[in-house]
Amino acid sequence: PRATATNRAIITEITVTPVAFADPPLLNSVGVHEPFALRAIVVIRTQDGTYGLGETYGDEAHVARLDRAGALLVGADAFNINQVATLVSESLREDSGIGGHGTGGMVTTTSLDDRVLSAFDVACLDIQGKTLGVPVSTLLGGAVRDEVAFSGYLFYKWAGHPGQEPDAWGEALDPSGIVAQARKMVDEYGFTALKLKGGVFEPEIEAATIEALREAFPRMPLRIDPNGVWTVETALKIGRRLEPVLEYLEDPCLSIADNAAVRKEIDLPIATNMCVVSFNDVPPAIAAGAVDVVLSDHHFWGGLRRSQALAGIAETFGLGLSMHSNSHLGISFAAMIQLAAATRNIDYACDTHWPWKPAGDDVIVPGALEIRDGSVKVSTKPGLGIELDEEALARMHRQYLDCGLTKRDDTGYMQSIHADFQLTTPRW
Binding Mg ion (rule: CB under 5 A), the pick from 34, 59, 206, 225 is: 225
CB closer to ligand GKR, 30 vs 124:
30
CB closer to ligand GKR, 1 vs 99:
99
Q: Which residues does 419 contact at the CB level (< 8 Å), separation at least 6?
A: none
Sheet strand arrangement including 51-57 = 11-22, 36-46, 51-57
Q: Are 376 and 147 in contact (CB under 8 A)?
A: yes
Residue 278 binding target from ligand GKR, Mg ion, none, CB below 5 to 8 Å by type? none
**Is the peptide bond prior to 426 cis by the omega test (within 30 degrees of 0)?**
yes
CA–CA separation, 296 and 136 (whole Å): 18
Strand 147-149 with 36-46, pairing: unpaired
Query: Candidates 59-67, 121-129, 202-210, 319-327 — which segment interacts with ligand GKR by CB under 6 A?
Result: 319-327
CA–CA separation, 271 and 266 (whole Å): 13
Q: Under the criterion CB under 6 A, does residue 130 sit at the interface with ligand GKR?
A: no
CB closer to ligand GKR, 106 vs 290:
106
Which residues inside 44-63 make contact with Mg ion, applying CB under 5 A? none
Minimum distance, C-beta of residue 273 to Mg ion, in the bound complex (Å): 4
Q: Under the criterion CB under 5 A, does residue 292 sit at the interface with Mg ion?
A: no
CA–CA separation, 338 and 323 (whole Å): 12
Which residues inside 138-197 make contact with ligand GKR, applying CB under 6 A? 197
Catalytic residue status for 418? no
Strand 51-57 with 371-372, pairing: unpaired
Dihedral of CA 237/242/243/249: which sign?
negative
Which residues inside 351-370 make contact with ligand GKR, applying CB under 6 A? 351
Name the active-site residue from 62, 197, 298, 353.
197
Which residues inside 195-224 make contact with ligand GKR, applying CB under 6 A? 197
CB closer to Mg ion, 124 vs 294:
294
Give residue 89's region: left, alpha or beta (phi > 0; psi -120 to 50): alpha
CA–CA separation, 411 and 423 (whole Å): 8
Minimum distance, C-beta of residue 261 to Mg ion, in the bound complex (Å): 19
Catalytic residue status for 377? no
Q: Under the criterion CB under 6 A, does residue 110 sit at the interface with ligand GKR?
A: no
Name the active-site residue from 130, 157, 299, 324.
324
Binding ligand GKR (rule: CB under 6 A), the pick from 227, 307, 308, 375 is: 227
CA–CA separation, 360 and 271 (whole Å): 33
Catalytic site positions? 197, 324
Binding site for Mg ion (CB under 5 A): 225, 250, 273
Binding site for ligand GKR (CB under 6 A): 26, 28, 103, 106, 197, 225, 227, 273, 324-327, 351
